[in-house]
Amino acid sequence: MFVAVLFLCILLSGSLCGLIMPMTKPDGSADLTGLLNHVTVLEQTVAGLQTDVQTNKVQAAAEISSLKDEMASLKTELRVSSNDLTVVKRELNDMKRRISDTNSQPNNTEVDSIRHDVRLNSAQIHAVQSDVRMFDNQLNLVNSTVNDVKIEADRFIQNISSDVKLITHEQEIQNLELQSTKTLTQSTSKQLERLEKDMNSTSAGLHDIQNNFSLTRTEVTILRNNLSVVQKQSLDNNQSLTQVSQDLHLVSADVHAALNNLSLIGSEVKTVRSDLYVAQNQSLDNKQLLTVLASKNRTVAFHVYFPPNKSPAYTPLAFSGTNYNAGSAYNTTTGKFTAPINGTYMFWTQLEARGSTITGMYVHIMKSGEVDENIAGGYVKTDPSIDEADASAVTVTHLDQGEEAWVETDHSGYIYQSSASYFGGVLLSED
């Protein structure tokens, strides 16, 4: 046990010497992290040594207590053996006394038995004594071992006290560095809190991105479906393109033929262009002629409707509805047209009579003069079975400025007041 304890002390002292060596980085600066780790390991080692010393003390005390218990047990057995021996001696004395009192020869068998018991008790006593001596020697060895362990422990504690002081000094320095490290750690912690807030906001953004990603997945699914439809349409389009390609070949042949026709048409176009040039020259001449004619012509025309329902025979019919009256030559009150200039005029009229009231009707276009002249006339035959009957007349005549033209009938029958009964005229040419 002593050798084991001594070996343990030497090993631990070597480990402590290795632990307290200064730790440096390759650039020569102190490796604080490594030094802190070594200090932590050194503290754990010292705590372990203290625990081992305490454990060894407890084990030694337990062994000493066990040896003491065994010595007490041996002493008890020795006392019992001594008491047995005393009893045997007392019995022998009693037997001697009885023998001497009876003056008889003792029984050899009993004497031999007693002697045998005495021998046995003596052997037991000698064995007990030898055991006591052996335990006494072991107790002395244990006491010496305990004393050696105490001495070595005291020597070890003295040896490491200086190292512990050095470590304590270095630990104080490291505590200062740890304090600065704590300050730095606090600032780092604040930065980490801000970083955590940023991470939370980023997490919310990621959540939104996930939602958008889910929506994007849905849209992708829709796009895939649409793509399938488009692919089908593409196949159909390919078939259509094949058909179109065939049609294009046919069209190409038609185009080739059309080009040939165009070359022929080109020559015809040249001919048409020359004809067109001649026609343009003629058109210019015609425009000039029309300009001259327009300067000589005036627009005189009229068209009126809605005659009186009933009017005396051979009197002008005054049409009250005016559809057109360029030049204002027609008078709706008198029913007469007055020529504003000398020229050739055209006149027309139609009257719709009630056939149930008359048997026939003449209509006349009249012209004024020294004697009024009937320049046009029309007739319609009717009977009571006919509800409506039309009579009309058209003429072309020459009027001098101030001459008049009008419409009249040969009876005073009823005439429909509508657009079906009308009178009109126009200047064809000016003198």
> Per residue in 387-407, pLDDT tens?
888 999 999 999 999 999 999
Instruction: Assign 106 to helix, strand or coil.
Output: coil
Average pLDDT over residues 166-195: 77
Find all residues with CB under 8 Å of 407, minimum gap 6, and list them: 307, 316, 317, 319, 335, 349, 351, 363, 364, 365, 366, 423
Locus of tokens 């050194």: 42
Average pLDDT over residues 179-195: 77
Instruction: Assign 260 to helix, strand or coil.
Output: helix
Average pLDDT over residues 153-182: 74
pLDDT over 70 percentage in the chain:
71
Greatest mean pLDDT range, 81-85, 139-143, 172-176, 266-270: 172-176
Q: What is the pTM of this model?
A: 0.35
Q: Which residue type is seen at 97?
A: R
Instruction: Assign 384 to helix, strand or coil.
Output: coil
Cα 174–176–178 angle (5° rounding)? 65
Q: In what order do the strands lie in the sheet with 337-338?
A: 337-338, 404-409, 360-367, 373-381
Mean pLDDT of the chain: 77
Tokens representing 280 are 């343009």
Q: Is the pLDDT assigned to residue 17 strictly greater than 70? A: no
Residue 361 near residue 307 (C-beta atoms within 8 A): no
Reported as a pLDDT band with limits 50, 70 and 90, residue 323 is very high
Q: Is the pLDDT assigned to residue 292 strictly greater than 50? A: no
Greatest mean pLDDT range, 150-154, 201-205, 301-305: 301-305
Sign of CA dihedral 55, 56, 60, 66: positive
More confident position, 254 or 137: 137
Average pLDDT over residues 334-362: 91
Greatest mean pLDDT range, 210-214, 222-226, 365-369: 365-369
Q: Which residue type is seen at 239?
A: Q
